[in-house]
Amino acid sequence: MTGRQVNALFLALALGLLALMAAQVQQSAEGTVLGHAARAVTSPVVTSVSWLSRTVSRVFHGYLYFVGVEKERSRLVRRVARMEAEQARIGEVYRENRRLRSLLGLRSSAAFPRGVFARVATYLDSGPARQAILVNRGRRHGVEPGWVALSHGAVVGRVVDSAGSTAEVLLVIDPDSGTAVRHVDGRFAGVLRGGNHGPAALLPLEYVPRDVPVAVGDTLVTSGLDLVYPPGLLIGHIRELAADSPLTWTIWVQVAFEPAELEELLLIPPFGGEPPSVPVTHGAPVDAPALGAEPPAETDEEGAP
């Protein structure tokens, strides 16, 4: 191949790629045909790698466990006996609670009865231009694009693509993300932009009127106005207030999860599914730890429905 031919080929390829990128700019983040095809191709690889890493991890931890197992055995036997008694008592209380709720006509105490637990299989990209992860639950487990991902009761992001056994979750800190939020006491509402600004991963909430009483540490929850996230889910806490004009604040919000430490997520159906009602205080959602406390009858050991 001569130098001119190489130059011409380079120009043609570069222009073709630019055209491909331009064609995608107008489309939403939620799935191009190309995206679905690519995810279908990579899904089996990710699932295999995730399974392999989990297996290695289990074997390693199993070995560590058995090193001290004799020492722990008698203590654990006593503890198990105590816990069985406790379990029986809790089971009785749970059944009584269900009966009473049924009598009162209330829904189940589980905030998200159709939720699916998923593990983070891989970080797809954690650069400044994109913040997305892949989880090990997909269409086969009922997870569809639009589902919402939670970690310890806090919103992490939403599913933008779902293959057979994996789903891609676009985090709320992704620059393309926008989340409708409101102050926990309902003092104002707005749209939290993604962007992962600075090492503390603060997200801006702009044009908040300065006559609104807000303070650092206040909690923000989803408002539901974007018709993406159900209302009342924890988003994060106010970390900084910046006066960007004589009339408005820009509020800097720290999300309530650590992006680099995500391991297990709860995926719930989008707005329009079972309407959740997670009571939120200024610290953390009251119901959050109870999400995994639903009796085992409704989920398998990995959390699939």
CB of 43 to other proteins, least distance (A): 11
Of 89-97, 149-157, 168-176, 237-245, the segment contacting other proteins by CB under 8 A is: 168-176
Q: Is 195 in the site for other proteins (CB under 8 A)?
A: yes
In the region spanning residues 97 to 156, those forming contacts with other proteins, defined by CB under 8 A, are 121-130, 132, 134
154 vs 40: CA distance, rounded Å: 29
Number of residues that bind other proteins (CB under 8 A): 50
Q: Is 10 in the site for other proteins (CB under 8 A)?
A: yes
Among 51, 53, 95, 209, binds other proteins (CB under 8 A): 53
The token pair that represents 122 in the structure block: 């891989």
Among 49, 81, 93, 106, binds other proteins (CB under 8 A): 49
- What single DSSP character describes residue 145? T
Of the two residues 126 and 299, which places its CB atom closer to other proteins in the complex?
126
CB of 224 to other proteins, least distance (A): 24
Q: Is 56 in the site for other proteins (CB under 8 A)?
A: no
CB of 58 to other proteins, least distance (A): 15
- What single DSSP character describes residue 134? E
In the region spanning residues 280 to 299, those forming contacts with other proteins, defined by CB under 8 A, are none
Among 168, 238, 280, 291, binds other proteins (CB under 8 A): 168
233 vs 223: CA distance, rounded Å: 8
147 vs 18: CA distance, rounded Å: 32
CA-CA distances (angstroms) from residue 73 to 59, 63, 66, 126, 141?
Answer: 20, 15, 10, 43, 37
The token pair that represents 196 in the structure block: 């992962």
Of 19-27, 79-87, 245-253, 275-283, the segment contacting other proteins by CB under 8 A is: 19-27
Of the two residues 42 and 299, which places its CB atom closer to other proteins in the complex?
42
68 CB contacts (<8 Å, ≥6 apart)?
none
Of the two residues 86 and 125, which places its CB atom closer to other proteins in the complex?
125
Of the two residues 39 and 137, which places its CB atom closer to other proteins in the complex?
39
Of the two residues 174 and 287, which places its CB atom closer to other proteins in the complex?
174
188 vs 190: CA distance, rounded Å: 7
CB of 7 to other proteins, least distance (A): 8
- Strands, DSSP E only, in the chain? 116-125, 132-135, 148-151, 154-162, 167-171, 178-183, 189-193, 202-209, 219-222, 234-243, 248-255, 264-268
Q: Measured on CA atoms in the order 36, 37, 38, 39, is the torsion positive or negative?
A: positive
118 vs 151: CA distance, rounded Å: 10
Give the interface with other proteins as residue ranges (CB under 8 A).
Answer: 1, 3, 6, 9-10, 13-14, 17-18, 20-22, 24-25, 29, 32, 34-35, 38-39, 41-42, 45-46, 49, 53, 121-130, 132, 134, 161, 168, 175-176, 194-199, 259-260
